[in-house]
A and B are shown apart, each in its own frame.
Chain A
């Protein structure tokens, strides 16, 4: 099934050019409501149980190093599936295998019903790939980058030109379409890679850290674009180091570390299951104070952790933590209650040690 683009739906700055347009884009991007307007009511997400990517005991070895050590996952048609994990966890290695950019060392991997590694060309024809490194052509203009890429897919030139125009608008790059890529900022380059990956209307979009290095405005733009694509039925696979991104976009995700899956589920489910509903953050006076507070709250706490100099206590009923602290006269000078989030899950699962 070929999907056409949400024509002009994201290009809310028509008619304004140059820096003014950029300025308006920034203003608008600050208001997430505008992005929400992109919703296309007619085409609701076609979330079904149909797996489009199935991996069983998937492994990747580079010489002596085993980067992926037997992982299983199923990605369903129309969903957004996330891979989270610290640096070197094996996310890119996994995603490169399912994009047919890197051979599978061991295990089974099927993409769109075809075995990866055998049907590489037929799989790549239906996949949009955004690699971790920007690889847009610096010698060409933005428009030329898209048109050349369309040729690699043997698209007709009229169709390619029209689609390139739409996609440059979609990524709000149309005012720079004839600029040389080497003059672009990093964020624009990233948006161009995303636009390019959509040229052939892929059924599955695979993005390796799509928003790393983007400013908050551009990140909102990309999120809006990905959500719009998902609503039209595009399956999205992404890796990210931004927990907020995964929380907003991913229907389901896996947390990987050292090449194995630590946990899997929807963001909400993972938060409730692994850390609990709420987090109480406390800034104690000193180590002794910290010790005293932690001890006092213990009966009501599911899990505790330290983030910098803050003590974080997780619970499904934060009120009970307050009660314990009052009862034992251990109320801290500074504290805050907030909903627990995916970042808490991530740090709990993977620890606080730096990788690599």
Chain B
């Protein structure tokens, strides 16, 4: 019990450090994480939506909006854990200074997850307001949206932090973005249903976390809740649990030479 409360207090201190740093740049940070999905929503939703009028029974705009919300969260988390995480480790010594205190690496990583969950929630909420303004939400189930958003904070932060810990240069981070994140974004059912893809592509997509995040977000926004929704949710929980520990060893190796 006492051990547990110490762990979370330490993690909360790391969260607070990130919050103070974020507070200095929050306007540009929101703008940066917001511009791209908004552009996608408007350009594709309105432009392409003029040709593709109906997708799985709803308007094209309505179809892509929830998926873009999930992607906004994923990117907000991935960019921060990847690029900022790399800097915290390699250029400004933030993690090194934490190591001169009683904080341990698992506590630092837990603090990062708390922070990324916060970011995911925050950036998701900002995008949600836009989706709401467009009249694209039709179900009270959306009230459950914060739960998957918080989980995205772990699911997408864990691999990005791992990559940041293993990367030797800034360039190597881009590999992760262009070879993992971007393809996952394009194929995970944000813009079109996955079942029409060739089976070998679809099978890969089915086991990746973003697909389940996109599906679940859409089901919540459109009120299409079924057993599949629970299944999607369990995939996300499973991913969070499986990846949680991934960056700990990698960071320990870097921080205790």
A residues at B contact (CB < 8 Å): 62, 99, 101-103, 120-122, 124-125, 129, 131, 133-140, 144, 148-149, 151-154, 180, 196-197
Contacts and interface: CB of A to CB of B under 8 A. Distances in A.
Contacts of B168: none
B24 interface: yes
A120 B21 CA distance: 28
B102 A125 contact: yes
Interface stretch (B90-98, B159-167, B202-210): B90-98
A131 B20 contact: no
A135 B92 CA distance: 6
B257 A148 contact: no
A151 B97 contact: no
A102 B17 contact: no
Contact of B24 (A131, A180, A197): A180
Contacts of B39: none
Interface stretch (B8-16, B64-72, B186-194): B8-16
A140 B256 CA distance: 25
Contacts of B142: none
B92 A137 contact: yes
B256 A101 contact: yes
16 contacts: A62-B257, A101-B100, A102-B257, A103-B256, A120-B104, A124-B100, A125-B102, A131-B97, A131-B100, A137-B21, A137-B92, A138-B92, A139-B25, A139-B92, A140-B17, A152-B13
A136 B102 contact: no
Interface string B150-191: 000000000000000000000000000000000000000000
SS class, residues of chain B in contact with chain A: helix
A151 B102 contact: no
Given A62-B257, A102-B257, A124-B101, A135 B93 contact: yes
Interface string B1-35: 00000100110110011001100110000000000
B104 A121 contact: yes
B235 to A, nearest CB: 35
Contacts of B96: 131, 133, 135
Contacts of A103: 256
Interface residues of B, number: 25
Contacts of B243: none
B103 interface: yes
B101 A134 contact: no
Instruction: Across the A-B interface, give the 7 residue pairs with the lowest CB-CB distance, nearest first.
Output: A135-B93, A152-B101, A151-B13, A139-B21, A129-B100, A135-B97, A121-B102
A54 B42 CA distance: 67
Given A101-B100, A139-B24, A152-B98, 6 more contacts: A131-B97, A135-B93, A136-B97, A152-B101, A180-B24, A196-B97
Interface in B71-121: 92-94, 96-104
Nearest to A134: B93
A152 B20 contact: no
A137 B101 contact: no
A148 B10 contact: no
Contacts of A121: 102, 104
B93 A152 contact: no
A111 to B, nearest CB: 14
B93 A153 contact: no
A153 B101 contact: yes
A276 to B, nearest CB: 41
A153 B102 contact: yes
Nearest to B96: A135
A163 to B, nearest CB: 15
A204 B109 CA distance: 28
B17 A137 contact: yes
A101 B13 contact: no
A3 B25 CA distance: 38
Given A103-B256, A139-B24, A154-B9, A148 B17 contact: yes
A131 B92 CA distance: 13
Nearest to B12: A151
Given A131-B96, A137-B97, A138-B92, A152 B102 contact: yes
A135 B25 CA distance: 20
A136 B21 CA distance: 12
A7 to B, nearest CB: 24
A129 B13 CA distance: 19
